[in-house]
Amino acid sequence: MLNKINHIGIAVRSLSQRADYFQTVFNLPEPEIKNVPSQKVKVAAYEIGGIKLEFLEATSPESPVAKFIEKKGEGLHHIGFEVPDIIQALTELKGQGVEVIDSQPRLGAFGDKVAFLHPQNFGILVELVEPADYRQ
Neighbours of 97 (CB within 10 A): 7
63-107 pLDDT per residue, tens: 999 999 999 999 999 999 999 999 999 999 999 999 999 999 999
Question: Nearest 5°: CA angle at 78, between 28 and 38?
Answer: 90
Give the structural domain span for 37. 4-135
What is the pTM (predicted TM-score) of this model? 0.91
8-43 pLDDT per residue, tens: 999 999 999 999 999 999 999 999 999 999 899 999
pLDDT of res. 136: 43
How many domains does the chain divide into? 1
Question: Do residues 94 and 48 make contact, with C-beta atoms less than 8 angstroms apart?
Answer: no
103-132 pLDDT per residue, tens: 999 999 889 999 999 999 999 999 999 998
**Residue 66's domain is classified under what CATH number?**
3.10.180.10
pLDDT of res. 134: 59
